[in-house]
Chain A
Amino acid sequence: MNPYRENLSKPLSVNPFRVSQAVGGVLALQGFFRSLPIIYGAHGCVEAVGEMLSQHYQEPIALQNVSVHDSNLIFGGSESAQDALELAMSRYKPDLIVLIGTSLTEMVGEDLENDVKLFIKKHSRTLGNCLVLSLQMPDYEGSLETGYARMTERIVEAVVRLSGGTNRKKRRNRINLLAGPHLTPGDVMELREIISSFGLEVITLPDLSSSLCGHLLIGNTKLSRGGVPLDYLDKMMTSGCTVAVGECMEGAARAIEQSSGIPYHVFPSLTGLQASDDFFEFLRKQSRTEVQVKYRWQRQILLDSMLDARNAYRGKRIIAALEPDHLLGLSGWLGEIGVRSFRAVSPSSSPVLDKIKGEVQIGDLEDMELLAEDGADLWIGSSLSEQGALRRGIAFEPMGFPIFNRLGSFLTVSVGYRGTTEILGRIGNALLRAERRVHK
């Protein structure tokens, strides 16, 4: 889409920070109650995906595999896929199974859809309300963001198909919240709270706030815990409107609109004073209810904090390595607080990149280090990028995915007035810390 941004003279990727689609797909599925992703690839693929997510969220990840062996590649793996589906079904009785294809199955031309069709036909009696789907998610295209969005869209489409008619009565005081992958479980929780404060009922999907926030409720299980229950999704088709947070979620929102005529509204990001104002104004109109005193206070506090922080941010040059939607939100907010420059590297292309205020290129962390060479006061990115910041002696603030060797990063909040105040403090403190180090 934006090939001109890429450094085409470089044949390889040095210190890549792109996270594959399958990770995004599996992550999205954790936000659905009692779901089970099954990765159709070599056994190592599963371990890598599970390990990454577990490290970041400090939670077990519901995930299984179809073990592809060399014989499967020659004779086809349909039988193995059936075995895996059957095993998952008989042992755990999930509510939602998605067979996820990898570049390997794509390359040998496995027909996942047919596998699922066969399985459903064979087990139509015992299946009950279990939803079985398939989705190809090769890792040579897209990134975590697209994987997450595509998985959500896939499930929304399936729910749309199941729910049938478009002329069902709508309930104005119910909102669908499509939460993008750059939101932490803490963010999603905050958004649900804000929306509820207007007396609106909210259906969140995927809902990571109740699955990967770190609760002990269910004990040890192989299925996803928490998340939005599947039967609840049918109610989605009678909501008053859909709110998508993150532009990548627009596809799913559009799918709902097309089938049920539910209007949607996309908020690229909810970080920052302006973005939060827009969101609250939207909710106020939608619900015809006034903003609660609590949030009026929060806005005051944010404004005061912005005044307090003006010196910490003034004249600062910030570089970031994040996914497109995340970059857009961050750049908007940093523009609002008035940093001197914002330059960034994105792991994959997206139309969103054109809207970013600042310089953006598609690349890897070697490119990020080149940016750092021109001078920067703060480096923002995932834990993978931390070593580059260390090498260049630039203050580092973790954000994005994956983050490891840190506690509670999945509970940080950066949306709404309160979240913006929190991120204002976090980034501001990192800048101040770096300044102290310079003057020493």
Chain B
Amino acid sequence: MPKGKNNLFVEPDCEHNGQEKKGCARPRPGDVSRGCPCAGSLTALMPIADAAHLVHGTAACLESRWGKFGDRIDFSHLSGYGFSTQLTEQDMAMGGERKLLQSIGYIASNYNPPAIFVYATCITVLSMEDLDSICEEAEEIWGIPVIPVHSPGFSGSSSNMGRRLAGEALMDRVIGKGAPQQDKLTEFDINLIGEYHGQEEGKSIEALLAKAGIRVLAKITEESHFAEVSCAHLAKVNMVVCSRSMITLARKMKDKYDIPYFEGSFYGEREIRFTMRQIGFHFANADLDKRLLRYIRKEEERLRVEIAPVRRALKGKMVVLYTDGLESWTYLTMLQELGLKIAAIGTNRNAQEDMSRIRERLNEGTVIINDCDDHQILQVYRERKADLMIVSGRNEFVPLKERIPFLSVGWDRHVSYAGYTGVRNFAEDLLGTLEQPVWVTSGKSAPWEG
């Protein structure tokens, strides 16, 4: 790894690191649109709920990124607010540094947050504004941490890059800065790092761990407080949940604070068992091991009894996945455990690790289509006579317009699929979707169409 350089393309803990580097591919235009790094950073850090998040750019840079989750976020928190410097043409010509400083001041004196995150955008990078020094100046004036996040829209080809850069900002400026509250620490403190869906998901994972006697110290980042995240260095173990976007953060915490990390997932019985065992391994405590095993056995037995009827109904059904990123592999174990057959997976924007994970979770006979387009997935769905499609993100209109039964596992779903409760929810949603009469109705023609 090159020294002294903040190189996020070289991560020693990544699978592809040993391989020969390919040159940068020229970005291709076209229909596969990718996320914005700045939006990725915002999504990653906005759950730090009591902090203010200020986007330094034009109107559209914040536009679709705030106030989105409706009734699922407690809007008394500051992160429910959207702050934007909304640069005008004049600002861009004359420089927006002064405006930024004033904006930070406005937030500091009107909203009193414990910290302010300031996000760079394409525009402010192009106009070569010195975000770092303005933040430093603001910090001196108002006496709270003002943290620059350098993730302009063209800095990478996906929101994943934004999450990594958010991780960098946390590592540099937040983690380790919190006042140690030793008296409040417990024996089994763990951090959860990674991207998981919405508030529900984080809560159900936290509840699951609590039942087994493990305390989640900081969620990076799920709805949490600034003070919590700044004390993350006091945990004993880090768990990277379902994503590698913040693996660099975990690795750096290992290097700096000697906190070991592991990767795990909470989707499906087998994954939960594996994750819990890893936690046990890292804490190396006989008592905890016993407790974990007892807990797993009890929950698994209960789950099996409870979902037996659903499993019978789902058995042998054929499913096709048309998903992006981590959704492509997280649900595979659960689907198999419920007795469904996976006919095909169409993926886009997947990292090499995601692909490995798909392969290690699959039986033979599944078609994997990389860089999949709508036409291909519809063709394979029909050829293999599948019963159901699972989609995420913007793919959800593909089965909808073709009147194919589908379940959307994207950001907008309402229940958690994580943990044992999550398996129950997922099973019920699958069966409920298949049983909806609208699939039959929508296939029928009108009486006058003959």
Which positions in A face B, CB cutoff 8 Å? 10-16, 18-20, 22-23, 38, 41-52, 54, 59-60, 63-73, 80-81, 83-84, 87, 102-104, 107-108, 138-141, 216, 218-222, 383-384, 386-387, 390-391, 404-405
The answer to whether B60 has its CB under 8 Å from any CB of chain A is yes
Chain B nearest CB from A316 CB (Å) reads 25
The distance from the CB of B245 to the nearest CB of chain A, in whole angstroms, is 16
Interface pair A87/B29, CB less than 8 Å apart: yes
Assembled-state Cα–Cα distance A200/B155 (Å): 54
Q: Which residues of B contact A47 (CB under 8 A)?
A: 33-36, 39, 394
Chain B residues with CB below 8 A from A138, complex form: 58, 89
Chain A residues with CB below 8 A from B68, complex form: 404
Question: Given A19-B63, A44-B36, A219-B401: A14 and B82 within 8 A (CB)?
Answer: yes
CB pair A20–B442 under 8 Å, yes or no, is: no
CA distance A383 to B423 in the complex (A): 32
Instruction: Give Cα A66 to B401, complex, Å.
Output: 26
Interface positions of B (Cβ within 8 A of A)? 26-31, 33-39, 54, 58-60, 62-68, 70-71, 75-76, 80-89, 91-92, 99, 102-103, 105-107, 122-123, 126-127, 153-155, 157, 159, 374, 378, 394, 397-398, 401-403, 442
Assuming A43-B33, A67-B29, is B83 touching A14 (CB within 8 A)? yes
Alpha-carbon gap, A169 to B173, bound state (A): 72
The chain B residue with its CB closest to the CB of A388 is: B75
7 A-B pairs besides A10-B106, A72-B27, A107-B92 with CB distance below 8 A are A14-B82, A20-B59, A42-B122, A43-B34, A69-B27, A140-B58, A219-B401
Q: Which B residues are in CB contact (< 8 Å) with A216?
A: 401, 403, 442
A49–B63 Cα gap in the complex (Å)? 9
Measured between C-beta atoms, what is the minimum distance from B48 to chain A in Å?
Answer: 18
**CB <8 Å contact, B54 and A12:** yes
A-B residue pairs in contact (CB < 8 Å), sample of 6: A10-B106, A12-B85, A15-B82, A42-B154, A70-B154, A386-B70
Point out the residues of chain B lying under 8 angstroms from A14, CB to CB: 81-83
Considering only CB atoms, which chain B residue lies closest to A106 in the complex?
B89
* Minimum CB distance partner of B54 in chain A: A12
Q: Is the CB of A391 within 8 A of B27?
A: no
> Which chain B positions have C-beta within 8 A of A87?
29-30
Chain A residues within an 8 Å CB radius of B28: 67, 83
Query: For B64, what are the chain A residues with a Cβ–Cβ distance below 8 Å?
Result: 48-49, 51-52
- Nearest CB in chain A: distance from B99 CB, A: 5
Complex CA–CA separation, A51 to B410 (angstroms): 13
Verify A48–B126 contact, CB threshold 8 A: no
Check A73–B154 contact: CB distance below 8 A: yes
Which residues of chain A have C-beta atoms less than 8 A from B59's C-beta? 13, 16, 18, 20, 139-140
Report B-chain residues with C-beta under 8 Å of the C-beta of A18.
59, 86
Query: Are the CB atoms of B102 and A13 closer together than 8 Å?
Result: no
B36 close to A45 (CB less than 8 A): yes
A12/B99 in contact, CB under 8 A? yes
Q: Are A222 and B31 in contact (CB under 8 A)?
A: yes
Lowest 3 CB-CB distances: which A-B pairs, in order? A44-B36, A84-B29, A42-B153
Is B401 touching A60 in the complex (CB atoms < 8 A)?
A: yes
Q: Are A391 and B76 in contact (CB under 8 A)?
A: yes
Smallest CB gap from B152: residue in A:
A42
* Bound Cα distance from A72 to B126, whole angstroms: 12
Looking at A15, A87, A219, which has the most chain B CB atoms within 10 Å of its CB?
A15
Chain A residue numbers with a CB within 8 Å of B126 are 73, 104, 107-108
Q: In the complex, what's the smallest C-beta–C-beta distance from A149 to chain B, in angstroms? A: 17
CB-nearest residue of chain B relative to A48?
A: B64
Interface centre among B26, B34, B80, B122 (most CB of A within 10 A): B122
Which residues from chain A contact B85 at a C-beta distance below 8 Å? 11-13
Most buried by A among B33, B34, B37, B86: B33
Contact A43:B157 (CB < 8 A) given known A139-B60, A387-B75: yes
In the bound complex, CA of A160 to CA of B374 (Å): 37
Q: Does the CB pair B401–A69 fall under 8 Å?
A: no
Q: Is the CB of B35 within 8 A of A50?
A: no
In angstroms, Cα B291 to Cα A244, docked, is 72
Q: Which residues of B contact A81 (CB under 8 A)?
A: 29
Name the distance in Å between B69's Cβ and chain A's nearest Cβ: 9
Closest to B80 in A: A387
Return A300 CB to nearest CB of chain B, in Å. Answer: 33
Residue on A nearest B110 in the bound complex, by CB: A14
CB contacts (< 8 Å) of A102 on chain B: these are: 60
Given contacts A19-B63, A220-B401, A391-B75, contact A45 B153 (CB under 8 A): yes
Closest B residue to A391 by beta carbon equals B75
**CB-defined contacts of A38 to chain B, threshold 8 Å:** 29
Residue on B nearest A63 in the bound complex, by CB = B33
B26 touches A69 (CB 8 A): yes
Q: A212 to nearest B CB, angstroms? A: 12
Whether the Cβ atoms of A11 and B80 lie closer than 8 Å is no
Residues of A within 8 A of B102 (CB): 11-12
List chain B residues, Cβ under 8 A from A71. 26
| Contacting pair A64 B30 (CB below 8 A) | yes
Q: With the chains together, A386 CA to B75 CA distance in Å?
A: 10
C-alpha gap A326/B37 in the complex (Å): 34
Chain A, residue nearest B377 (CB): A220
**How many angstroms from the CA of A44 to the CA of B402 in the assembled complex?**
27
B39: chain A residues at CB < 8 Å are: 44, 47-48
CB distance from A6 to the nearest CB of B (A): 12
Q: How far is B427's CA from A123's CA once the two chains are assembled, in angstroms? A: 53
For B107, what are the chain A residues with a Cβ–Cβ distance below 8 Å? 12
Question: Is the pair B401, A404 in contact by a Cβ cutoff of 8 Å?
Answer: no
Residues on the A chain within 8 Å of B87, using CB: 140
A255 CB, min distance to chain B CBs, angstroms? 25
Q: What distance in Å separates the Cβ of A156 from its nearest Cβ neighbour in chain B? A: 25
Residue of B82, B92, B122, B398 near A16 (CB, 8 A) is B82
Indicate which residue in A70, A141, A405 contacts B70 across the interface (CB closer than 8 Å): A405
Q: Tell me the smallest distance from the CB of B269 to a CB of chain A, in Å.
A: 32
Interface centre among A66, A104, A386, A391 (most CB of B within 10 A): A104
Q: Which of A23, A65, A70, A108 contacts B33 (CB 8 A)?
A: A65
**Residues of chain A contacted by B442 (CB below 8 angstroms):** 216
Least CB separation from B81: chain A residue = A15
A436 and B123 CA atoms in complex are apart in Å by 49
A16–B63 alpha-carbon span in the complex (Å): 8
Specify which of A19, A80, A139, A391 lies most central, judged by the most chain B CB atoms within 10 Å of its CB.
Answer: A139
B394 touches A11 (CB 8 A): no
Nearest-neighbor residue (CB-CB) of A11 within chain B = B102
Question: Which residue in chain A gives the minimum CB-CB distance to B411?
Answer: A51
Are A390 and B75 within 8 A (Cβ)?
A: yes
Complex Cα–Cα for A102 and B122 (A): 11
B31, B157, B159: the one within 8 Å of A64 (CB): B31
Q: Which residue of A lies closest to B399 (CB)?
A: A220
